[in-house]
Structure 1
Amino acid sequence: MKKRTLVTGLLVLLPVCSALAKPQLTGCAAKEHDIKQQIEQAHKHNNPHRADGLHKALREVREHCTDESLRRERLSDVHEKEHEVTQRLRDLDEAKQSGNPEKIEKRKKKLKEARQELAEAKAELSK
């Protein structure tokens, strides 16, 4: 019985310990970390041109990135995506007025894509 309790206790603590071991990075630190991982992948796949471009991107992030500027950039992207969704809604309304089923389906697909892009942009805000 004690062995089962000990194992259960350890399983409960495992996610807590792993969360403490690697803190969640945000802002420019997260961006820098992502670029470093991409550089590793480029080297791993023997892609020197991609690695060179990523090294340049890493230098740019280190020299110019601030958490505030990154937040403003991401917020701007969200506003842009919101505008796109609004436009796609208008396009869908026009297609419905025309009564053309192919056009309606096409506009629905475009709206779905725009909404997905908006959701992704909003998710970036918290990174």
Structure 2
Amino acid sequence: MLKILAPFLTRSASALAGLALLLAAAPALASSSCDSVTGCDWKFCEIENKLSIAQQHGNDHQIAGLKKALQEATRHCTDEGLREELIDDLQDAREDLAEHESDLAEAKANGDADDRRQYQQEVEEKKADIQRLENELSRLD
């Protein structure tokens, strides 16, 4: 897909798009080999797996970003800090979900099918995000 869009993207936009695709796909790919570790070790494992994927695809921009992320995580990660970050992210996601559900109710009341589909999709995505965050948080317990 990036090859199709490449002529229309700047180098940095192309790199960001590639990183976004990798990061979106990587949790599914990386999680299985990191199941036996928790906390910061799990975070390091996830980043290392994403780094390995980026290296396999020769994406230098992703490699540089993930190496920096790994250095920062190694330097600053604590299990308690990770827990607090997940709790904050979970609270934000729940607030976003409430907002999307309100928008969905309004779209239903107005009979706007396009808005209803859009907000329904946003509600489902946010619920999945909340489930992922809750799973990550439970791994720390």
TM-score by length of 1: 0.72
Task: Check 1:101–1:54 CA distance in 2 against 1; reply closer, same or farther (3 A cut).
Answer: closer
Distance in 1 (CA, whole Å) between partners of 2:138 and 2:80 is 12
Partner residue of 2:91 out of 57, 63, 79: 79
- Are residue 37 (structure 1) and residue 53 (structure 2) matched? no
Deviation of 1:31 (Å): 0.7
Deviation of 1:23 (Å): 7.5
TM-score by length of 2: 0.66
Deviation of 1:105 (Å): 2.6
What does residue 109 of structure 2 align with?
Answer: 97
- The within-5 A match list for 1:15-94 is 24-94=36-106
Deviation of 1:34 (Å): 1.6
Identity of aligned residues (%): 32
Distance in 2 (CA, whole Å) between partners of 1:97 and 1:47 is 47
Letter in 2 for 1:32: F
Letter in 2 for 1:125: L
Structure 1 gaps, min length 5:
1-21
- Structure with more relative contact order (C-alpha pairs < 8 Å, separation 6 or more): 1
Distance in 1 (CA, whole Å) between partners of 2:51 and 2:96 is 33
What does residue 3 of structure 2 align with?
Answer: none
Task: Check 1:102–1:43 CA distance in 2 against 1; reply closer, same or farther (3 A cut).
Answer: closer
**How many pairs does the alignment contain?**
106
- Are residue 106 (structure 1) and residue 118 (structure 2) matched? yes
Distance in 1 (CA, whole Å) between partners of 2:72 and 2:107 is 44
1:66-98: CA deviation from partner (whole Å, max 9, x where unpaired)? 000001001111111111111111111211221
Task: Check 1:95–1:46 CA distance in 2 against 1; reply closer, same or farther (3 A cut).
Answer: closer
